[in-house]
Amino acid sequence: MNPTLSELEARATREKAAFGGDAHIVCDNLVRIYKTEGVEVVALQGLDLVIDKGELVAIVGASGSGKSTLLNVLSGLDVPTAGVARVAGMDLLSMNARDRLRYRRSVVGFIWQQTARNLLPYLSARENVELPMKLAGRRGGRALELLELLGVGYCADRKIPEMSGGEQQRVAIAVALANSPQLVLADEPTGELDSETSEQVFDALRKANRELGVTVVVVTHDPLVSEQVDRTVGIRDGRTSSETLRREGAEGQIVAEEYAVLDRVGRLQLPRDFMNALEMERRVRLELESDHIGVWPAREEPSDD
């Protein structure tokens, strides 16, 4: 007996929902199109991404690749055009304005690159951390605890101009953690800091990840940051293009392995330097071997002369 239309729709829905399973963050064929003065800009072109709860992940990519758009979508600041975007089981496409506000207050914490966007200069560090708690109707008793955890407890009563850039960013992390979010998103959190101070800020992010169990996603150009996470996801032209996985080797050394990302319809992005080295353009030849697929430049067309 042939299935009915409703049965086919239900089956398609189940199959779509199965992608990513119960992962903490699931993006499935995610699309974001901006329209400005009649011109459409496709920032995300069917991006797929799966991040498990408690992961510490770096998102890297050139300017205009779509990584900041992805961060804005996951933070609830931007609404996707199509596809699937779920965080902690919540559908970011179907949220109304009230749900989105509640999501930003309680589920996700955000850290901007510019400290002026994270902190109010006329409040002390402790008061900055307490503010989001009060806005959410919570008591501010854990503000000092968070500052101590991140190594800036001594700044509790200092105003923002009285702190260094690194201290300000660590206080900003405490603000992002104030309402016990499940996910912390950081947009170039070390972009304006020197390497030593960047290390201190990243240590604070890692401590929040490990001791509080919060999932952390960092968008960065900083190789120091991307080399200190378990997984680095590369984005190119609005799609995930590569993943670098890091593990500890047999002798205690860190081993990094880079992979191309194969999406569910079989697309992958070859590294540009590979393509340039072999002058691959438009077409390539594929051959199926017993344990791999070979990729070669297309043969030159014979001339009619």
Q: Is the pLDDT of residue 15 over 60?
A: no
> pTM score, two decimals?
0.85
d(CA 65, CA 233): 12
Residue 22 pLDDT class (50, 70, 90 cuts)? confident
Predicted pLDDT of residue 213: 93
196: in domain:
yes
303: in domain:
no
234: in domain:
yes
> Which segment of 30-44, 141-155, 170-184, 244-258 scores lowest on mean pLDDT?
244-258
DSSP character for 81? S
Q: Residue 158, SS3?
A: coil
Tokens representing 64 are 């205009």
Which backbone phi and psi does 250 adopt, to 5 degrees? -60, -30
- 265-290 residue pLDDT tens: 788 888 888 888 888 888 889 898 88
Structural domain count of the chain: 1
- 237-253 residue pLDDT tens: 899 999 988 887 777 77
Q: What is the mean pLDDT of residues 202-229?
A: 86
156: in domain:
yes
The whole domain housing 162 covers 19-260
Alpha carbon separation from 247 to 47, 203, 206, 227, 231 (Å, rounded): 25, 18, 16, 11, 9
298: in domain:
no
Q: 39: domain CATH number?
A: 3.40.50.300
- 100-159 residue pLDDT tens: 988 998 899 999 888 778 899 999 999 999 999 888 777 767 899 999 999 999 999 999
